[in-house]
Amino acid sequence: MGKGARTRATILAAAAETACLAGFDGLNLQPLADKVGMTKSGLYAHFGSKEALQIATLEYAAELFQARVVAPAKTEGAGLPRLAGVFGRWLEWPANAALPGNCPFFAGVVEFDDAAGPVRERLVRLFRDFRAVVEQLVASAVRHGHLGAGTDPAQFAHELLALRYAHHWAQGFMHDPAADARTRAAFARLVGGRA
Amino acid sequence: MGKGARTRATILAAAAETACLAGFDGLNLQPLADKVGMTKSGLYAHFGSKEALQIATLEYAAELFQARVVAPAKTEGAGLPRLAGVFGRWLEWPANAALPGNCPFFAGVVEFDDAAGPVRERLVRLFRDFRAVVEQLVASAVRHGHLGAGTDPAQFAHELLALRYAHHWAQGFMHDPAADARTRAAFARLVGGRA
DNA sequence: GGGACAATAGCACGACCGGTCGGATCTAGA
DNA sequence: TCTAGATCCGACCGGTCGTGCTATTGTCCC
């Protein structure tokens, strides 16, 4: 790993932290350069444009998400245990990845929902891919008899995302101490209603 | 209604549209002034600061929300019909209020979740007030026997917001044509599971 | 050790940001 | 009709934004 790649990794780690706090639009060059001890232009040379920096940061966060949320499922029992594990890690993955603030993907949703462009497309694809993963987990849980045969994986995934979103709101924005308990109760009801 | 108040109303109507598309941080003075055919300083004189403009826009949107979502409930049957009516109008209120794009309050959640200040506090209070309204509607539905006696209004309100949030994501960001159907199905399951 | 090249610094540009100020214009009350 | 105050404009401020350009430094291979 050459020096350039090492510096790039340092930048992206700092960029991911910034994205959690200020969103992808808040990935301004000067403050980010100050954070890693570089000048703005020195940092800029690694990416060539702000948009490229945003996409690289998105990619970096996606790898982190994959490693912290999805990958550990391999060691869990197939079906519901795996689904519950992924959901639990999904709730707390920013903290587990040493990221401050909230999930950067949710920040991107608001920032890019009315702004077409490659960053938005990349983010949409990330969400679609993860939803597909969730749907497969749900289908597997159905096959194992952990969820009722009539369960629609797409509908279940939609409601699971709703819970994650509400948790983001209740904990990150409203600072509601009951956020965790509410989310867990809702998940239990979501699973229980299909058993 | 004097000329000043009329101009101010024109500005706020345009500001609400902008907030739906670009968020409250996107309420930049110059573009907004262009939109209403004024100069930046002429517009600025009505508010005194950008923060004051943001709060005024928030207030304006809140009044719109109250009128379009909550107020019509008075003519609906108490209990579940009223709850369902509010939820339905909650889903589509930006369109009903002739606002482009998505719900401005959800945009504010991301923009102000890590930025303390009066705008954030105002937004938190708006959410808290509306959640209290929802909880009262749920409690009323319980009293009318439309929902099971064991229903926790706070938990129900939390899950209802989750559905609204997921609808915002699926429709506004993912452009999922099934968003409406998924949200309606989830609402039916939420209500049905408590009956 | 020197030469090639990646990596970074320094500097400047045009555009836009929120905000300020003096003065022109319009409105409303006496 | 006259005037006081509300209203609005145009120019401008310091600052930050993303983006280029040229030097200079550092690194690594021969």
Round to a whole number and report the distance in Å from the CA of A4 to the C1' of C6: 8
Q: What is the CATH number of domain B50-192?
A: 1.10.357.10
Kindly report, residue by residue over B40-75, the tens digit of the pLDDT. Answer: 999 999 999 999 999 999 999 999 999 999 999 999
Q: What is the CATH number of domain A51-192?
A: 1.10.357.10
Mean predicted confidence (pLDDT) in A96-118: 92
- Cα B182 to Cα A113, A128, B29, B163, B179: the distances in Å are 20, 16, 39, 9, 5
Write down the mean pLDDT value for chain A.
94
Mean predicted confidence (pLDDT) in A25-44: 92
**Chain-centre distance for alpha carbon A28:** 21
Amino acid in position B150: G
Contacts of B104 in chain A (CB under 8 A): none
Question: B108 near B23, Cβ under 8 Å?
Answer: yes
Sign of CA dihedral A81, A83, A88, A93: positive
CA A16/CA A106 separation, integer angstroms: 13
Cβ within 7 A of any strand C atom? A 2-5, 7, 33, 37-43, 45-46; B 2-3, 27-31, 40-41, 44, 48-51
- Determine whether the interchain pair B110/A110 forms a contact, defined as Cβ–Cβ distance below 8 Å: yes
Note the residue count of chain A: 195
CA B150/CA A94 separation, integer angstroms: 34
Q: With a cut of 80, say whether residue B193 has pLDDT above it.
A: no
**The pLDDT of residue B195:** 59
Amino acid in position A132: A
Write down the mean pLDDT value for chain B.
95
Mean predicted confidence (pLDDT) in B112-136: 95
Q: For residue B38, give both structure tokens.
A: 């004024």
A182 CB near a chain B CB, below 8 Å?
yes
Contacts of B113 in chain A (CB under 8 A): 101-102, 172-173
| Best A106, A112, A113 residue to mutate vs chain B (most B CBs within 10 Å) | A113
Question: A19 near A104, Cβ under 8 Å?
Answer: yes
Kindly report, residue by residue over B11-24, the tens digit of the pLDDT. Answer: 999 999 999 999 99
Sign of CA dihedral B80, A183, B115, B31: negative
Q: With a cut of 90, say whether residue B143 has pLDDT above it.
A: yes
Full DSSP string of A63-123: HHHIIIIIGGGGGSPTTHHHHHHHHHHHHHHHHHTT--SS-HHHHHHHHHTT--SHHHHHH
**The pLDDT of residue A31:** 92
Residue B51, nucleotide of least CA–C1' distance: C18
- Determine whether the interchain pair A165/B162 forms a contact, defined as Cβ–Cβ distance below 8 Å: yes
HSE (side-chain half, CA atoms, 13 Å) at B59? 10
Residue of B nearest to A167 (CA): B162
Q: With a cut of 70, say whether residue A93 has pLDDT above it.
A: yes
CA B72/CA B85 separation, integer angstroms: 8
| Best B21, B114, B127, B129 residue to mutate vs chain A (most A CBs within 10 Å) | B114
Domain ranges for chain B: 50-192
Nearest to A110 among B106, B124, B166 (CB): B106
